């Protein structure tokens, strides 16, 4: 009986040495004694197999991010916050990666977006001696990891371009340990470092540029807490083009004579689907059988998010945005009011949460939220925390989902949904739009002709005038903007430098 498919490959040796072979074990023991396997133990703790044939870049990156204990700040499945390939979508749609793979520059972009510090080097901008020094630096430390982009053909392996982390180095034999994330194909293996350099010093036919390597470490600050940009929705290209290219042209009009004109121009020209581009980060969990008690970690995290929200609402810009959005005759009012009530937001996110738990990457189109209920709990420091509970159904039954909602510290109203006078303050349109305006690149406003108005709007959106917590949030969003612009302009391959956060 014929059997379809392939079960592993025979590792060509030489040039590679199987990690589990007698020689491979000896190299490992000698490298440990020499102190050049320090990064190995954290990497091997999170070693994973790429879930798609073209996901080697995503698997390598998620493995390294987890080894560095970088908190993604959002849920993966169930109660767990964890980097997974499916979450690395801010620089390239996953379907495109699945079909064609991902370039070196966009893996660098993804690492930046995920909140890591990245130093990237193409082989034509580096040397084998520099590479060897960087390998030594990362393998003698457990807080730095190196991902290599190379061509398999130089190792007599099948396939072409590939990504994998470097797990160790043998000084005497000048050999590097590749922790191949295509574990269904080849096991981890040692290769001569000069040959690895030769494999990196090749041209990626998709971009016409050299391959290379990147060093990834942990930033001292956390990534965004409450807001994030996303290119998961296919419209992100047109939205980012509008915000970064078209908007400055609109603001150059002679009719822009005051702050109200500036903000009205921005808000009235927003694409209808801009809500897919910037979102507040909801925390979703399955309802627990023993009740809805919040853990100390959840309470603390909500308290920080609530502080970020309060700081947004305390900005002078927020007051201007709110005034324009909800003015009686505002043409922006319908956009702002659409789906922004707590009940609508809660029902939508409960359905998205159910989609996540079902493995549909946040899809909500097959779920219906029958009911929602709002409850308040005491959080850190005596502040309140809002939990919206929903019962979500689809063709396979129903499940309970909780959404942990940050609420305004100044205007929290704790009461069940539907009770008269109950108006919980959550990140709604005016909050999200204020964050969006603060995060727009400074050049957005540069073409305003009235110098007095220009100075006034620059003061309103200046990150320097923000409290430290909100400043970090906004600078992170601004950095995401710049990364997305690089992607949109196809310049992410040419400029590997980190954005100026």
Catalytic center residues:
56, 162, 180
- Measured CA to CA, the distance from residue 265 to residue 491 in angstroms comes to 29
Cβ distance 342 to 388 under 8 Å? yes
Residue in the structure block whose two tokens are 């169930």: 78
Q: Which two tokens stand for residue 490?
A: 């196809």
305 burial type by CB count under 10 A (0-12 exposed, 13-18 middle, 19+ buried): buried
Residue in the structure block whose two tokens are 């609402």: 313
- Measured CA to CA, the distance from residue 417 to residue 400 in angstroms comes to 16
- Measured CA to CA, the distance from residue 4 to residue 358 in angstroms comes to 29
Contacts (Cβ under 8 Å, ≥6 apart) of 289: none
Bond into 14 cis (ω within 30) = yes
Sign of CA dihedral 294, 297, 303, 309: negative
Residue in the structure block whose two tokens are 């309970």: 400
Cβ distance 278 to 229 under 8 Å? yes
Cβ distance 336 to 430 under 8 Å? yes
Cβ distance 380 to 387 under 8 Å? no
- Measured CA to CA, the distance from residue 278 to residue 271 in angstroms comes to 12
- Measured CA to CA, the distance from residue 190 to residue 230 in angstroms comes to 38
DSSP 499: P
The conformational region for residue 187 under phi > 0 = left, psi -120 to 50 = alpha, else beta, is: beta
């Amino acid at each position: 009986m014929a059997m379809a498919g392939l079960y592993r490959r025979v590792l060509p040796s030489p040039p590679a040495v199987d990690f589990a072979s007698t020689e491979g074990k000896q190299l490992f023991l000698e490298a440990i004694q020499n102190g050049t396997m320090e990064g190995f133990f954290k990497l091997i703790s999170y070693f994973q197999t790429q879930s798609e044939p073209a996901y080697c870049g995503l698997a390598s990156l998620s493995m390294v991010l987890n080894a560095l204990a970088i908190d993604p700040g959002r849920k993966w499945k169930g109660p767990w916050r964890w980097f997974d390939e499916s979450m690395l979508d801010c620089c390239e749609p996953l379907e495109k990666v699945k079909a064609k793979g991902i370039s070196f520059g966009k893996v660098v972009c993804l690492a930046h977006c995920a909140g890591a510090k990245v130093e990237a080097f193409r082989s034509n901008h580096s040397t084998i001696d520099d590479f060897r020094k960087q390998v030594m630096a990362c393998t003698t430390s457990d807080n730095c990891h190196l991902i290599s982009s190379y061509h398999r053909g130089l190792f007599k392996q099948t396939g072409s371009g590939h990504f994998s982390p470097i797990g160790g180095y043998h000084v005497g034999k000048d050999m590097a340990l590749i922790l191949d994330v295509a574990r269904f194909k080849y096991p981890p293996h040692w290769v001569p470092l000069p040959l690895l350099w030769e494999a990196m010093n090749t041209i990626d036919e998709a971009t016409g540029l050299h391959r290379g390597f990147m060093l990834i470490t942990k930033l001292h600050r956390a990534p965004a807490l409450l807001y994030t940009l996303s290119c998961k929705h296919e419209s992100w290209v047109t939205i980012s083009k509008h915000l970064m290219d078209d908007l400055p042209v609109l603001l150059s009009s002679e009719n822009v004579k005051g702050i109200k004109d500036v903000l009205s121009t921005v808000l009235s020209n927003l694409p209808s689907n801009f809500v897919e581009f910037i979102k507040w980060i909801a925390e979703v969990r399955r309802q627990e059988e023993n009740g809805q008690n919040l853990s100390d970690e959840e309470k603390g995290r909500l308290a920080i998010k609530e502080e970020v929200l309060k700081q947004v609402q305390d900005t002078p810009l927020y007051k201007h945005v709110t005034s324009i959005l909800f003015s009686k005759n505002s043409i922006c009012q319908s956009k702002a009011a659409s789906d922004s009530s707590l009940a609508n937001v809660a029902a939508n996110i409960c359905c998205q949460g159910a989609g996540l738990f079902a493995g549909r990457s946040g899809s909500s189109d097959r779920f219906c939220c029958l009911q929602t209920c709002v409850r308040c709990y005491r959080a850190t420091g005596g502040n309140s925390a809002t939990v919206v509970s929903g019962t979500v159904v689809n063709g396979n039954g129903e499940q309970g989902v909780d959404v942990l909602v940050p609420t305004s510290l100044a205007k929290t109203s704790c009461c069940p949904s539907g009770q008269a006078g109950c108006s919980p303050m959550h990140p709604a349109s005016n909050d999200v739009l204020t964050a969006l305006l603060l995060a727009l690149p400074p050049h957005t406003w540069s073409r305003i002709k009235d110098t007095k108005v220009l100075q006034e709007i620059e003061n309103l959106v200046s990150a320097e005038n923000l409290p430290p917590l909100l400043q970090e949030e906004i600078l992170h969003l601004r950095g995401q903007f710049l990364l997305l612009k690089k992607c949109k302009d196809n310049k992410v391959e040419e400029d590997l430098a980190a954005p100026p956060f």
